[in-house]
Chain A
Amino acid sequence: MPNRLSMVVFSGTVDRLYPAAIMASGAVAMGMDVDIFLTFYGLDAFRKGQPSTNTKMDVNYAELAPMLAQLMREKNVPSWYEMLRIAKEMGKVRVHACAMTLDLMGLKKDDLDPIIDDVVGVGEFVSQAKEGEITLFL
Protein backbone atom coordinates (compact mmCIF):
# COMPACT_ATOMS: atom_id res chain seq x y z
CA MET A 1 0.00 0.00 0.00
CA PRO A 2 1.44 3.37 -0.92
CA ASN A 3 2.50 5.60 1.91
CA ARG A 4 0.51 8.63 0.82
CA LEU A 5 -1.19 11.81 1.99
CA SER A 6 -3.89 13.17 -0.32
CA MET A 7 -5.40 16.62 0.04
CA VAL A 8 -8.33 18.29 -1.65
CA VAL A 9 -7.58 22.02 -1.50
CA PHE A 10 -10.88 23.81 -2.07
CA SER A 11 -10.13 27.09 -0.33
CA GLY A 12 -7.90 29.76 -1.85
CA THR A 13 -7.31 31.83 1.25
CA VAL A 14 -3.77 32.10 2.58
CA ASP A 15 -4.78 30.79 6.01
CA ARG A 16 -5.82 27.47 4.40
CA LEU A 17 -2.99 27.29 1.87
CA TYR A 18 -0.51 27.33 4.77
CA PRO A 19 -1.76 24.10 6.37
CA ALA A 20 -1.77 22.46 2.93
CA ALA A 21 1.90 23.40 2.44
CA ILE A 22 2.88 22.51 6.01
CA MET A 23 1.13 19.12 5.91
CA ALA A 24 2.86 18.41 2.59
CA SER A 25 6.22 19.29 4.20
CA GLY A 26 5.59 17.05 7.21
CA ALA A 27 4.51 14.19 4.98
CA VAL A 28 7.59 14.30 2.73
CA ALA A 29 9.78 14.62 5.83
CA MET A 30 8.28 11.35 7.04
CA GLY A 31 8.86 9.68 3.70
CA MET A 32 5.31 9.89 2.37
CA ASP A 33 4.17 10.81 -1.12
CA VAL A 34 1.74 13.71 -1.41
CA ASP A 35 -1.07 14.30 -3.89
CA ILE A 36 -2.77 17.69 -3.89
CA PHE A 37 -6.00 18.18 -5.84
CA LEU A 38 -6.78 21.87 -6.43
CA THR A 39 -10.39 22.71 -7.02
CA PHE A 40 -12.52 25.89 -7.10
CA TYR A 41 -10.92 28.68 -5.05
CA GLY A 42 -7.97 26.42 -4.33
CA LEU A 43 -7.24 26.31 -8.05
CA ASP A 44 -7.88 30.03 -8.43
CA ALA A 45 -5.03 30.59 -5.94
CA PHE A 46 -2.70 28.83 -8.42
CA ARG A 47 -3.49 30.94 -11.48
CA LYS A 48 -0.27 32.46 -12.82
CA GLY A 49 0.78 35.40 -10.65
CA GLN A 50 -1.67 34.59 -7.87
CA PRO A 51 0.65 32.78 -5.43
CA SER A 52 2.84 35.87 -4.96
CA THR A 53 0.03 38.43 -4.76
CA ASN A 54 -2.82 36.63 -2.98
CA THR A 55 -3.45 38.04 0.52
CA LYS A 56 -7.01 36.77 0.99
CA MET A 57 -7.97 35.47 4.41
CA ASP A 58 -11.04 33.70 5.75
CA VAL A 59 -13.66 36.48 6.14
CA ASN A 60 -14.43 35.33 9.67
CA TYR A 61 -10.91 36.36 10.62
CA ALA A 62 -10.53 39.31 8.25
CA GLU A 63 -9.76 41.67 11.12
CA LEU A 64 -6.76 39.50 12.04
CA ALA A 65 -5.32 39.45 8.52
CA PRO A 66 -3.18 42.62 8.70
CA MET A 67 -1.77 41.62 12.10
CA LEU A 68 -0.91 38.08 10.95
CA ALA A 69 0.68 39.37 7.75
CA GLN A 70 2.75 41.81 9.82
CA LEU A 71 3.86 39.07 12.28
CA MET A 72 4.84 36.77 9.43
CA ARG A 73 6.98 39.49 7.85
CA GLU A 74 8.63 40.31 11.17
CA LYS A 75 9.37 36.67 11.94
CA ASN A 76 10.49 35.84 8.40
CA VAL A 77 7.97 33.04 7.95
CA PRO A 78 8.36 31.65 4.43
CA SER A 79 5.29 31.96 2.22
CA TRP A 80 3.03 28.93 1.85
CA TYR A 81 4.17 28.76 -1.78
CA GLU A 82 7.85 28.64 -0.80
CA MET A 83 7.07 25.86 1.72
CA LEU A 84 5.26 23.88 -0.96
CA ARG A 85 8.12 24.43 -3.40
CA ILE A 86 10.64 23.11 -0.85
CA ALA A 87 8.42 20.12 -0.02
CA LYS A 88 8.30 19.35 -3.73
CA GLU A 89 12.06 19.61 -4.01
CA MET A 90 12.52 17.21 -1.08
CA GLY A 91 10.04 14.51 -1.93
CA LYS A 92 7.34 13.28 -4.23
CA VAL A 93 4.65 15.95 -4.16
CA ARG A 94 2.25 16.06 -7.09
CA VAL A 95 -0.02 19.03 -7.60
CA HIS A 96 -3.09 18.35 -9.73
CA ALA A 97 -5.53 20.86 -11.19
CA CYS A 98 -9.21 19.94 -11.22
CA ALA A 99 -10.31 19.53 -14.85
CA MET A 100 -13.86 20.64 -14.13
CA THR A 101 -12.83 23.93 -12.48
CA LEU A 102 -10.41 24.65 -15.32
CA ASP A 103 -13.15 24.15 -17.92
CA LEU A 104 -15.61 26.18 -15.88
CA MET A 105 -13.22 29.12 -15.63
CA GLY A 106 -12.21 28.79 -19.27
CA LEU A 107 -8.56 28.28 -18.32
CA LYS A 108 -5.78 26.19 -19.84
CA LYS A 109 -2.87 24.54 -18.02
CA ASP A 110 -0.67 27.36 -19.38
CA ASP A 111 -2.70 29.87 -17.36
CA LEU A 112 -1.66 28.11 -14.16
CA ASP A 113 1.45 28.34 -12.03
CA PRO A 114 4.22 25.94 -13.17
CA ILE A 115 4.20 24.16 -9.78
CA ILE A 116 1.12 22.32 -11.08
CA ASP A 117 2.02 18.95 -12.57
CA ASP A 118 -1.10 18.02 -14.48
CA VAL A 119 -4.82 18.36 -14.98
CA VAL A 120 -6.85 15.43 -13.66
CA GLY A 121 -10.47 14.46 -13.31
CA VAL A 122 -12.03 13.70 -9.95
CA GLY A 123 -12.21 9.99 -10.77
CA GLU A 124 -8.48 9.71 -11.19
CA PHE A 125 -7.78 11.63 -7.99
CA VAL A 126 -10.24 9.62 -5.93
CA SER A 127 -8.87 6.31 -7.18
CA GLN A 128 -5.36 7.46 -6.26
CA ALA A 129 -6.47 8.73 -2.85
CA LYS A 130 -8.21 5.42 -2.19
CA GLU A 131 -4.81 3.70 -2.17
CA GLY A 132 -3.46 6.00 0.55
CA GLU A 133 -4.04 6.21 4.28
CA ILE A 134 -4.90 9.87 4.75
CA THR A 135 -7.11 12.23 2.75
CA LEU A 136 -7.79 15.76 3.94
CA PHE A 137 -10.19 18.43 2.70
CA LEU A 138 -8.97 21.99 3.14
Chain B
Amino acid sequence: METAVKANVLIDARGSFCPGPLMELIRGIRQAALGETIEVWSTDQGSRKDIPFWVQKAGHELIGMFEGPDYARFVVRKRR
Protein backbone atom coordinates (compact mmCIF):
# COMPACT_ATOMS: atom_id res chain seq x y z
CA MET B 1 0.00 0.00 0.00
CA GLU B 2 1.92 3.04 -1.23
CA THR B 3 0.57 6.55 -1.03
CA ALA B 4 2.05 9.95 -1.59
CA VAL B 5 0.93 11.03 1.87
CA LYS B 6 3.68 11.20 4.46
CA ALA B 7 2.42 11.70 7.96
CA ASN B 8 4.28 13.35 10.84
CA VAL B 9 3.25 10.65 13.28
CA LEU B 10 2.47 6.98 12.71
CA ILE B 11 0.25 5.07 15.12
CA ASP B 12 0.22 1.34 14.51
CA ALA B 13 -3.00 0.27 16.24
CA ARG B 14 -3.30 -3.03 14.37
CA GLY B 15 -4.62 -5.75 16.64
CA SER B 16 -6.31 -3.24 18.93
CA PHE B 17 -10.06 -3.73 19.25
CA CYS B 18 -12.85 -1.17 18.97
CA PRO B 19 -12.61 1.59 20.19
CA GLY B 20 -8.82 1.24 20.65
CA PRO B 21 -7.59 2.75 17.34
CA LEU B 22 -9.95 5.73 17.68
CA MET B 23 -8.79 6.32 21.25
CA GLU B 24 -5.15 6.16 20.13
CA LEU B 25 -5.86 8.63 17.32
CA ILE B 26 -7.52 11.06 19.76
CA ARG B 27 -4.54 10.82 22.08
CA GLY B 28 -2.16 11.34 19.14
CA ILE B 29 -4.09 14.39 17.92
CA ARG B 30 -3.98 15.93 21.39
CA GLN B 31 -0.21 15.58 21.51
CA ALA B 32 0.34 16.83 17.95
CA ALA B 33 0.92 20.42 16.87
CA LEU B 34 -1.59 22.29 14.74
CA GLY B 35 -1.27 21.33 11.07
CA GLU B 36 0.58 18.09 11.77
CA THR B 37 -0.62 14.88 10.19
CA ILE B 38 -1.20 11.59 11.95
CA GLU B 39 -1.51 8.22 10.31
CA VAL B 40 -3.33 5.37 12.05
CA TRP B 41 -3.24 1.73 11.05
CA SER B 42 -6.22 -0.32 12.14
CA THR B 43 -7.55 -3.84 11.74
CA ASP B 44 -10.73 -2.97 13.67
CA GLN B 45 -13.90 -2.96 11.55
CA GLY B 46 -15.46 -0.19 13.63
CA SER B 47 -12.68 2.25 12.76
CA ARG B 48 -13.89 2.60 9.16
CA LYS B 49 -16.98 4.41 10.38
CA ASP B 50 -15.84 5.72 13.77
CA ILE B 51 -12.64 7.45 12.71
CA PRO B 52 -14.07 9.52 9.79
CA PHE B 53 -17.10 10.38 11.95
CA TRP B 54 -14.95 11.54 14.86
CA VAL B 55 -12.56 13.49 12.61
CA GLN B 56 -15.48 15.43 11.11
CA LYS B 57 -17.15 15.99 14.47
CA ALA B 58 -13.94 17.12 16.15
CA GLY B 59 -13.21 19.56 13.32
CA HIS B 60 -10.06 17.97 11.91
CA GLU B 61 -9.37 16.91 8.33
CA LEU B 62 -9.41 13.39 6.96
CA ILE B 63 -6.76 13.56 4.28
CA GLY B 64 -7.29 9.98 3.23
CA MET B 65 -8.54 6.53 4.10
CA PHE B 66 -6.70 3.73 2.41
CA GLU B 67 -8.16 0.22 2.51
CA GLY B 68 -5.66 -2.60 2.31
CA PRO B 69 -6.20 -6.35 2.29
CA ASP B 70 -5.28 -6.72 5.98
CA TYR B 71 -5.79 -3.31 7.52
CA ALA B 72 -6.95 0.23 6.81
CA ARG B 73 -4.86 3.40 7.03
CA PHE B 74 -6.26 6.77 7.99
CA VAL B 75 -4.38 10.03 7.57
CA VAL B 76 -5.67 12.94 9.60
CA ARG B 77 -4.56 16.57 9.86
CA LYS B 78 -4.93 18.39 13.15
CA ARG B 79 -6.98 21.50 12.40
CA ARG B 80 -7.68 23.03 15.78
Interface string of B22-43 (1 = CB under 8 A from A): 1100110000000000000000
Q: How far is the CB of A7 from chain B (nearest CB, A)?
A: 16
What is the total number of residues of chain B having a CB less than 8 Å from a CB of chain A?
13
Q: Which chain A residue lies CB-closest to B46?
A: A26
Q: Give A87 to B23 CA distance when docked, in angstroms.
A: 8
What is the total number of residues of chain A having a CB less than 8 Å from a CB of chain B?
13
B54: contacting residue among A22, A30, A86, A90, CB under 8 A: A30
Q: Give A6 to B13 CA distance when docked, in angstroms.
A: 29
The answer to whether B19 and A29 touch across the interface, beta carbons within 8 angstroms, is yes
Given A31-B57, A31-B58, check contact A26 B27 (CB 8 Å): no
Contacting residues, chain A, for B64 (C-beta < 8 A): none
The answer to whether A26 and B15 touch across the interface, beta carbons within 8 angstroms, is no
Residues on A lying within 8 angstroms of B by beta carbon are 22, 25-26, 29-31, 75-78, 86-87, 90
